[in-house]
Chain A
Amino acid sequence: MKTLLFKPFEKYSEKNLFLIGLIFTIIGSFIAYFFDIRYDGVFDIHIKSNGLIYQALVDNLINIFCLILFLYLSASYVNKKTRVIDILTTTVIARTPLYILPLFNINNVIGKATEKLIQLVDPKLINQIPASSILLVTVFGIITILFIVWYVALLFNGFKVSSNAKGKVSLILFITSLVLAELLSKFLIFQLN
């Protein structure tokens, strides 16, 4: 179970992983459209209305492209034998936890609770904030953090298997790649909107 959830790259073939990742990307993007979620950055998940049905899919494709670009450059520096297909499967599989998150926003329940909190941020009105809204937003926040940790753990494990990375230099390159991918993805998604 641990291998399946955190280290699938050690066991399963790249073809199976890519196919599963692709299916999850397409289904996850359409779920995001129906549950008002935008993936407007490699590490971003925001409750926003999607204008077009393919908007979340475009966001995801940009995020996947940015991750592949920087992770592949780093992985190739660590080990010249690194294959693009392994970085591609790492990226598409690692993002699958993020596609589950929109399911928590049924009937825009998280969006509505957040709006209530934003409307009542005035210190005078703070007592009027419904406890249910605070609880809902807090629980969703914790779940989101856990899913992002899962996402990064998958990315790191995939990066390690793809490039046989070891040591501190590889870790620094991995973190740098994620930061650069986040910056480029934010820029590209912002430019396209």
Chain B
Amino acid sequence: MKKLPVKCPSCEKQLMVSQLSCSNCETNISGTYSLPILLQLSPEDQDFIFEFILSGGSLKKIATKIGKSYPTVRNKLDDIIEKINHLQNI
């Protein structure tokens, strides 16, 4: 699966969506749209959120699953919350 780039490889700024297309009828929509906040996070953070949802929001279950301690997993979640708060304020 292709990785969605979220940052400009040239200047490191956040990329915007400028075109969407329908693979069925080939309709194209042009414009400037921001990426959803979750997509602006790193793939590693996105994977963590995915795991968090799948484990029913239990940090203990994630810790057991990924072989990390509870405080390490909790710190990871706190860091993601901080990043999301930062992205919301941009």
Which A residues are closer than 8 A to B by beta carbons?
9-14, 79, 81, 83, 86, 161-162, 164
Contact = CB atoms under 8 A, between A and B. Distances in A.
Contacts of A164: 71, 74-75, 78-79
B72 interface: yes
B67 interface: yes
B71 A83 contact: yes
Contacts, number: 32
B7 interface: no
Nearest to B73: A10
B79 A13 contact: no
Nearest to B78: A164
Given A11-B67, A13-B63, A161 B72 contact: yes
Given A164-B78, A164-B79, A11 B71 contact: no
B85 interface: no
Contacts of A81: 74, 78
